[in-house]
Amino acid sequence: MSHKRIPKRRAAMAAGGVVALGAAAVLLPNANASQDGGTPHDAAAAPRTLKAADASDLASRLAGLLGDAFAGSYYDTGEQRLVVNVVPGDDDQVVARARKAGAEVREVGNSMGELSGGARTLRSEATIPGTSWALDPRTNKILVTADSTVTGAKWDRLESTVESLGPGMATLKKSAGTFKTFVSGGDAVFGGGGRCSLGFNVTAGDGSPAFLTAGHCGVADDQWSDVQGGQPIATVDQTVFPGEGDFALVRYDDPATEAPSEVDLGDQTVRISRAAEATVGQRVFRMGSTTGLADGQILGLDATVNYPEGTVTGLIQTDVCAEPGDSGGSLFTQDGLATGLTSGGSGDCAVGGETFFQPVTTALEAVGATLGGDAGDGEGVGGVDGSGLTG
Indicate which residue of 56, 132, 327, 346 is catalytic.
Answer: 327
CB of 31 closer than 8 Å to CB of 259 = no
Residue 41 bears catalytic tag: no
Indicate which residue of 246, 264, 295, 335 is catalytic.
Answer: 246
Which residues have CB under 8 Å from 44's CB, separation 6+?
99, 100
Indicate which residue of 147, 197, 208, 216 is catalytic.
Answer: 216
Residue 327 bears catalytic tag: yes
Residue 246 bears catalytic tag: yes
Catalytic residue ranges: 216, 246, 327
